Chains A and B, each alone.
Chain A
Amino acid sequence: MWAGEAVAYAPAVRRTTLGWLVALPLLGCPRAPLPPGTVVLVVESAPETLDRRLALSAVAENVSGQLLEPGLVRIADDGQPVPDLAERFERLDPATYVFTLRPGLRFGDGSPLAAADVVATFASVRDPRLGSPVAPRYAEIDAVDALDDRRVRVRLRHPFAPFLADMNLGIVPARTLAAPDRPDFGRHPVGAGPFRFAAWPDDEHLLLEANPFYYAGPPPIRHLLVATVRDETTRLLELESGEADVAFNAVSPPMLRQLATAPHVKLLRRPGAGTTYLVFQFGDPKLRDVRVREAIADSIDREALVRYKLLGYGEVADSLLPPSNWAHAAQPLRHRDLARARELLDAAGLRAPQGAPRFTVSLKCSTDRFRRSIASAIAHEIEETGIAVRLEPLEFGTFFSDVRRGSFDIASMKWVPIVEPDLLYWVFDSASIPDAADGFVGFNRGGYRNPALDALLEAARVAPSRAERAADYARVQAIADRDLPYIVLWYEDSVAVVRDDIEGLRISPFGYFDGLASARRVSP
């Protein structure tokens, strides 16, 4: 019965697809006719590929991973991996897991999805010839085998708890991987997600359609256009005029204020999982002194920054892990205390000579108008302690390259939404200090070292239960709060801007697009 439907459906797909391929290049202004009821999702940059294994940008990861190619597990809002294409998973021993696929799974083209596809997907992502940027995440895997059509066994080289969250890698058909003469998968993806690929006539316009074979049933949105609009003001105008229907975290707080009063547009928000922070360079002898870092932390008025710069679209942070994360451990909130900051600097021997600053640090940030404005407010607050701050806004490419190499005194950054608490290992463990030999892969860019913390982070990776991991991470967060390799500032809200005729849209703390699977357009 399933096969019959697939055959009957296939020619229709081809006809409509061809039709839109002709119509879509005319998009832009004025927009050519789209399939009736098409929902337009506006994004900041075009996805560079639709192959989850090769995606680099957040947009590409989101479109491929959340809409087109789901994995064995998906990430729940608290950061825990929960079954997706797999209906369940069990741990046989600390280093062996078995995933059981849902019955009757099919790809968007109607072909069945079996254990062999899972095995082939993981073999391909680990194959150095593919050059996947996510390959290092699967380095701990020893073997992936199909036990039968629906069961896959994953054996690890040694117990490694964070690996489960990475089992969300999008499963792709084995036959698309075997045939080298197939058109580029990243331009013609096949997955088992709520949507399937329809057409990609130009970089700015990607058309997806509801996948009739999706295991949870096809989504109510029949056609979804992913439109790239790079300029923020234009995105705002398109949402106001109704040319675009949905945007996830693509409008900054100052612009949201304008949208809050616009007719026919609603703002949906929930606490987000991305942490904004300042990172210190431990190579600098003054910043290496914890009293100096603490003084700087005490000088920053985070409540005021959240209220006036984020306009309330955020929450003051107490840890690098967001409160929604299962491993988050609350730390005492810091409040601005200039007197204490000055005392700490005096105690550190950094007294100000008559009329001159105590010392000068540079604060690097990106040239993005909003980020630069926040950085200048922070610089001003730090200067009130008597430290002179040289603000260095840098074009993003230069800024990020400097940060990766540890070339900064203080840098102002934001983490992409944090899912797996093992990020703490990448950020604070001394084994994660980047250097030229490893191509600057580690995230411990300030060069922070604490052997006690290293031991906890390494224990948490192999801890047998989630409760034990959570206990380790709680101690890690307490140490990080005392040592201050980072000053955590706030968690920015996850905000969706939606036209008022779109209902049922769920927003994710991670900014994932998967909420579109449940959304529908109600006729006025």
Chain B
Amino acid sequence: MKPAAPAMAEDTPLSRPLGSGAAIGLLLVSACAALALFAPLVVTCPPGRLDLAIAWLGPTAGHPWGTGDNGVDVLSQVAYGARVSLGIGLAAVLVSGTFGTIAGAASGYAGGLWDALAMRVIDVLLAFPGLLLAIFLTAVLGPSIPGLVLALCSTAWVGYARLARAQVLALREQGFVLAARALGAGPSRIVVRHLLPNLLGPILVQATFGLPAAILAEASLSFLGLGVPPGTPSWGALVDQGMAHLVDAPHVALIPGAAIALTVLGFNFLGDALRDRLDPRG
């Protein structure tokens, strides 16, 4: 037990100022979200339109961010690509977060053989390079968005499971759980009503870091030609397209590259700020 200093009473995580990191993060993330939401209003031509005659050109009136391979409009590719990136990232985090949390919490609460078994599976998956497994899965499943989300979730869920299990192990010995059990609550009620709400903070922090990781992984897979189906606007695929023209048309790789970097940076700043506030260890 630490001696309680007078100032400690006011210094709860929630009372700390947000800081400039969070402001920058919020700004970047909102900019990306706005680009995705208002894509049809931002762009000057639809993302699927090709015109061979105007390939690899710099900015013009009709194409403010220039054009890429086969004359695709870079602005519309980046704007609609934001929808794809954010959509896939959110879906991957939602699926892996839900599955991982439930699996981890259940395993931690049940304990014993089930727990040991689940933890060994998680150890194996943690030791496996995630991107490699995702490459394998996308190669087997073929290019499709649900397949891509599944591939991204294949290893991402273990992080949530480890976190949820560790929290549950600590929480289940606490007084309020014992009280609930003494009152006759069953295991599922205890997990759902008493444990999960207490897990949400750390899981939310983990998800904030999981989202940029998923966006980055989607971009990597699309860069390798294994991500979204051909023709779907994607930041990673656009960077791949621009790689061969870094000398004569650098904007085609640099603009989506910057979009990926800034979005990931924004989410990481936001995650840091969130952790400072919500993490009990913070």
CB of A380 within 8 A of CB of B50, answer yes
Chain B residues touching A, majority SS:
loop
CB of B231 within 8 A of CB of A258, answer no
CB of B244 within 8 A of CB of A376, answer no
Please give the distance in Å from B30's CB to the nearest CB on chain A: 33
Please give the distance in Å from B24's CB to the nearest CB on chain A: 36
Q: Contacts of B225 on A, CB cut-off 8 Å?
A: 367, 372, 393
Please give the distance in Å from B158's CB to the nearest CB on chain A: 29
Complex: chain B residue closest to A367, CB-CB: B225
CB of A304 within 8 A of CB of B52, answer yes
Please give the distance in Å from A329's CB to the nearest CB on chain B: 30
Answer whether residue A369 sits at the interface, using C-beta atoms and an 8 A cutoff: yes
Answer whether residue B248 sits at the interface, using C-beta atoms and an 8 A cutoff: yes
CB of A308 within 8 A of CB of B55, answer yes
Chain A residues touching B, majority SS:
helix
Give the number of residue pairs across the A-B interface with Cβ within 8 Å. 44
Q: Contacts of A254 on B, CB cut-off 8 Å?
A: 244-245
Q: Contacts of B229 on A, CB cut-off 8 Å?
A: 390-391
CB of A393 within 8 A of CB of B52, answer no
Number of A interface residues, CB 8 Å?
Answer: 23
CB of B245 within 8 A of CB of A308, answer no
Answer whether residue B69 sits at the interface, using C-beta atoms and an 8 A cutoff: yes
Q: Contacts of A372 on B, CB cut-off 8 Å?
A: 225, 230
CB of A308 within 8 A of CB of B53, answer yes
Answer whether residue A146 sits at the interface, using C-beta atoms and an 8 A cutoff: no
Given contacts A373-B70, A377-B50, contact A391 B230 (CB under 8 A): yes
CB of A377 within 8 A of CB of B52, answer yes
Instruction: With a 10 A CB-CB cut-off, give which of B50, B225, B230, B247 has the most chain A CB atoms.
Output: B230
* A376 CA / B55 CA spacing, docked (Å): 13
Complex: chain A residue closest to B53, CB-CB: A308
For window 280-310 of A, CB contacts with B under 8 Å fall at 301, 304-305, 307-309
Given contacts A258-B248, A369-B244, A377-B70, contact A308 B52 (CB under 8 A): yes
Q: Contacts of A309 on B, CB cut-off 8 Å?
A: 52
Q: Contacts of B240 on A, CB cut-off 8 Å?
A: 369
Please give the distance in Å from A11's CB to the nearest CB on chain B: 50
For window 199-239 of B, CB contacts with A under 8 Å fall at 225, 229-231
CB of A376 within 8 A of CB of B231, answer yes
Complex: chain A residue closest to B245, CB-CB: A254
Complex: chain A residue closest to B55, CB-CB: A308
* A510 CA / B225 CA spacing, docked (Å): 32
Q: Contacts of A255 on B, CB cut-off 8 Å?
A: 244
Please give the distance in Å from B231's CB to the nearest CB on chain A: 6
* A157 CA / B53 CA spacing, docked (Å): 55
Contact of B70 among A301, A369, A376 (CB under 8 A): A376
Residues 360-400 of chain A, each 1 if its beta carbon lies under 8 Å from chain B, else 0: 00000001010011001101100000000011110000000
Contact of B230 among A258, A301, A376 (CB under 8 A): A376
Please give the distance in Å from B61's CB to the nearest CB on chain A: 21
Instruction: With a 10 A CB-CB cut-off, give which of A254, A301, A304 has the most chain B CB atoms.
Output: A254
Please give the distance in Å from B82's CB to the nearest CB on chain A: 21
Complex: chain A residue closest to B48, CB-CB: A380
Complex: chain A residue closest to B70, CB-CB: A377
Q: Contacts of A390 on B, CB cut-off 8 Å?
A: 229
* A257 CA / B247 CA spacing, docked (Å): 11
Please give the distance in Å from A314's CB to the nearest CB on chain B: 14
* A257 CA / B245 CA spacing, docked (Å): 11
Residues 51-88 of chain B, each 1 if its beta carbon lies under 8 Å from chain A, else 0: 01101000000000000011000000000000000000
Complex: chain B residue closest to A370, CB-CB: B244
* A305 CA / B53 CA spacing, docked (Å): 9
For window 242-270 of A, CB contacts with B under 8 Å fall at 254-255, 257-258
Q: Contacts of A257 on B, CB cut-off 8 Å?
A: 248
Please give the distance in Å from B142's CB to the nearest CB on chain A: 8
Q: Contacts of B247 on A, CB cut-off 8 Å?
A: 258
* A233 CA / B244 CA spacing, docked (Å): 8
Q: Contacts of A301 on B, CB cut-off 8 Å?
A: 52
* A369 CA / B231 CA spacing, docked (Å): 14
Residues 31-50 of chain B, each 1 if its beta carbon lies under 8 Å from chain A, else 0: 00000000000000000101
Given A373-B241, A376-B230, A391-B231, 8 further pairs, Cβ under 8 A: A304-B53, A308-B53, A308-B55, A369-B240, A372-B230, A377-B52, A380-B50, A393-B225
27 contacting pairs across A/B (C-beta < 8 A): A233-B244, A254-B244, A257-B248, A258-B247, A304-B52, A304-B53, A307-B52, A308-B52, A367-B225, A369-B240, A369-B244, A372-B225, A372-B230, A373-B70, A373-B241, A376-B70, A376-B230, A376-B231, A377-B50, A380-B48, A380-B50, A380-B70, A390-B229, A391-B229, A391-B230, A391-B231, A393-B230
